[in-house]
Amino acid sequence: MTYQIRQRLARFLVATASVFMLVLGAGCGATSNSQSDPKDITQQTITPGTLTIATGEPAYTPWVMDNKPETGKGFESAVAYAVAKKMGFKRSQVKWVRSTFDSAIAPGTQKDWDMNIQQFGISKERKNAVDFTPSYFNADQSVVVLNDGKYADTNTVSALNDATIGAMVGTTSYDFTVSAIKKDVKTYNDNATLAKALDSNQIDAMVVDTPTAVNIVKSGQVRNGKVIGRLPDSHDPEGDGIVLPKGSKLTSPATRAINDLKKDGTLDKLQNEWLSEYVTNVQVLNK
């Protein structure tokens, strides 16, 4: 073998060995990542290392106090942080954004959040479009009227048959109004607009969940409002759940978190802390 041939062969072997080591190194790195990342829930979010949680704009008391979910004050804000902690996220890793109610549960739309919490009633129809955790609260529905209006002294559901009633579109409140009072119900895109409609005498009554009803009166959203009572048999067995994008990798850990918070008494504690004054002393209307 000539000197030139030996030199070429040596260069070829060195190059081959270098390529082999690069491929081997890349393969080892890929194996290491594939073993670690899927086990770390904090890296499965839309922004790795950050849990992005959406709520309404605005978000109302007692669900979120002062429209500031980042404070952790208010029932849903506190629940969200408790769930995040159970899932392995620090408080500093939680980021809040806003979304509309309808867009959050609309099928086929791109979600720019990991979880969404704003009193979403769990239903079979909605489960076709999004994922849900188990319920964190099971609400009932109440009726708000004007204190000097025609229905101020009403204590029966049947007396509301002739009233012009409003409810937020697509909500459990709307469903119960249609089934318990009358089919012809005016719909509004959000509770703020609904409250304004009652405040300005466009409707005679509005139906919302009981904590929201009490807050609407307490906060003066309806300036001369009055909660006349809860609708009988309106306790929602499905309840309100946290919404996640359909097929989210976070659905299972979020579900485990809610179940753990039920078992260890945290959800009951948070309900007593934030909701007790909004659900007690509200009579049930007669049928």
Residues 6+ apart with CB under 8 A from 170: 101, 102, 105
Q: Is the pLDDT of residue 155 over 80?
A: yes
Domain covering 141-230, topology: D-Maltodextrin-Binding Protein; domain 2 (3.40.190)
The mean per-residue pLDDT over the stretch 261-275 comes to 96
Q: Do domains 42-138+238-279 and 141-230 have the same CATH topology?
A: yes
Q: What is the pLDDT of residue 36?
A: 40
Architecture of domain 42-138+238-279: 3-Layer(aba) Sandwich (3.40)
**How confident is the model at residue 182, as a pLDDT?**
93
What is the pLDDT averaged over residues 121-148? Answer: 94
Q: Residue 211 carries which side chain, given as an amino acid letter? A: P
pTM: 0.75
Q: Please report, for the chain, the start and end positions of each structural domain, with discontinuous segments joined by +.
A: 42-138+238-279, 141-230
Per-residue pLDDT of 59-86, as tens digits, reads: 989 999 999 999 999 999 999 999 999 9
pLDDT value for 181: 93
Q: Does residue 188 register a pLDDT over 60?
A: yes
Dist CA 120 CA 109 (whole Å): 17
Burial (CB count within 10 angstroms: exposed 0-12, middle 13-18, buried 19+), residue 5 = exposed
- Integer angstrom CA distances of residue 31 from 17, 25, 27, 45: 21, 10, 6, 21
Among 168-172, 183-187, 274-278, where is mean pLDDT lowest? 168-172
Give the mean pLDDT of the chain.
87
Q: Report the distance separating Cα 210 and Cα 229, nearest Å.
A: 9
The answer on pLDDT for 159 being more than 70 is: yes
